[in-house]
Chains A and B, each alone.
Chain A
Amino acid sequence: MEALFYVFSFIAIFSALMVVTMRNPLTSALYLVLCFFALAGFYVILDMQFLAAMQILVYAGAIMVLVVLVIMLLNISRIKNIGSDLHQKIIGGLISLILFAEVVLYIINGAQKKPTGIFTRALIKKIGNTQIIGEFLFTEYMLPFEIASILLFVAIIGAYLFAKKKY
């Protein structure tokens, strides 16, 4: 498990760096797919196989296909080489370094909370993670579930309106 964790974290961080640094957006998109697969591997290590499947189906499948399709629809030679200014790089690097230092300090110094829930690894393995998630989605989280469906519906209409020729 420990070795797998390091392999996945290396792949995830490397491909995330590649997404940000590559000039060609199509290369970035393919590295992003690799990153999503590594994160799905993390979910499998953490005993959430259903989330790993969702990650691969929805992110690496649906969303990245949409991104690649849009890159294809646009003229690739005109969107390929959009560089960034030096001052932008310096400011961006500083901001993200400060953010990282802040988060890591918080993680290291923060008080560790004791486990409070009842869903231990053994229980999740016994019932099955898909069944637990399904039960919670249709009982305790019923209202957010319905609102999510409305959100998706609105997003369909919005995407159609934006991509229409005249609006």
Chain B
Amino acid sequence: MNNYLIVASIIFCIGALGVIVRKNLIVVFMSLELMFNAANLGFVAVSNRLNLISGDIFVIFVIVVAAAEAAIALGIAIAFYREKGTVDIDKANELKN
């Protein structure tokens, strides 16, 4: 189980790196999906090790939430692009200036 958890944490940290470093809104969204998937892998590995089923059920709910989040996030991306003409998240600075 430890091997699975370490792979999951590597993928999670790569996703976190992408969320922090990248400026492209769509790539940030895809890195978020990576983090979701790493968490899912952790859930499945742990519930397999402990002979439980609740982790697997939870993965299904995570997938549902990820689907809802994808629809909303891409709607925001389209609205942002229409407003600014780009998807660079540094251009979202109305509250700062």
A interacts with B: yes
Q: Which residues of A contact B (CB under 8 A)?
A: 5, 9, 12-13, 16-17, 19-20, 25, 28-29, 32, 35-36, 39, 42-43, 46-48, 51, 54-55, 58-59, 62-63, 66-67, 70-71, 73-74, 78-79, 82-84, 88-89, 91-93, 95-97, 99-100, 103-104, 107-108, 113, 115-121, 129, 132-133, 136-137, 141, 144, 148, 151-152, 154-156, 158-163, 167
Counting from the closest, the 10 A-B pairs by CB-CB distance are A162-B75, A155-B68, A92-B20, A117-B51, A20-B18, A117-B52, A92-B21, A159-B71, A96-B17, A159-B75
Which residue from chain B places its CB closest to the CB of A162 in the assembled complex? B75
Task: Please determine whether B44 and A46 come into contact, CB atoms closer than 8 angstroms.
Answer: yes
Is B9 touching A29 in the complex (CB atoms < 8 A)?
no
Bound CA span A36–B38, Å = 10
Assign chain B's interface to a size class. Answer: 35 or more
Chain A residue nearest to B74 in the complex (CB): A70
- Smallest Cβ distance from B19 to chain A, in angstroms? 8
Q: How far is the CB of B37 from chain A (nearest CB, A)?
A: 5
Q: Is the CB of B61 within 8 A of A13?
A: no
Q: Is the CB of A132 within 8 A of B53?
A: yes
B62 CB to closest chain A CB, in angstroms?
10
Please state if B7 and A54 are interface contacts (CB–CB under 8 Å): no
**Contact B88–A82 (Cβ < 8 Å):** yes
Residue contact B50 to A151, C-beta cutoff 8 Å: no
- Given A70-B26, A116-B51 in contact, is the A16-B11 Cβ separation under 8 Å? yes
| Interface of chain B: mostly helix, strand, loop or mixed | helix
Q: List the B residue with the shortest CB-CB distance to A120.
A: B51
Contacts A16-B34, A74-B78: A66 and B86 contacting too (C-beta < 8 A)?
no
Contact B34 A32 (CB under 8 A): yes
CB distance from A11 to the nearest CB of B (A): 11
Binary A-proximity of B26-54 (CB < 8 A = 1, otherwise 0)? 11011101100100110011011111111
Contacts beyond the supplied A82-B87, A100-B13: 5 A-B pairs with Cβ under 8 Å = A32-B34, A39-B40, A96-B16, A129-B56, A152-B67
Chain B residue at smallest Cβ distance from A165: B82
Closest partner residue, chain B, to A22 (CB atom)? B27
- Expressed in whole angstroms, the Cα–Cα distance for A166 and B3 within the complex equals 50
Instruction: List, sorted by A's number, 21 A–B pairs whose CB atoms are closer than 8 Å.
Output: A35-B11, A48-B48, A48-B56, A58-B63, A67-B30, A70-B77, A70-B78, A78-B86, A79-B26, A82-B87, A84-B23, A88-B20, A93-B17, A95-B17, A99-B13, A103-B9, A119-B53, A129-B56, A162-B76, A162-B79, A163-B79
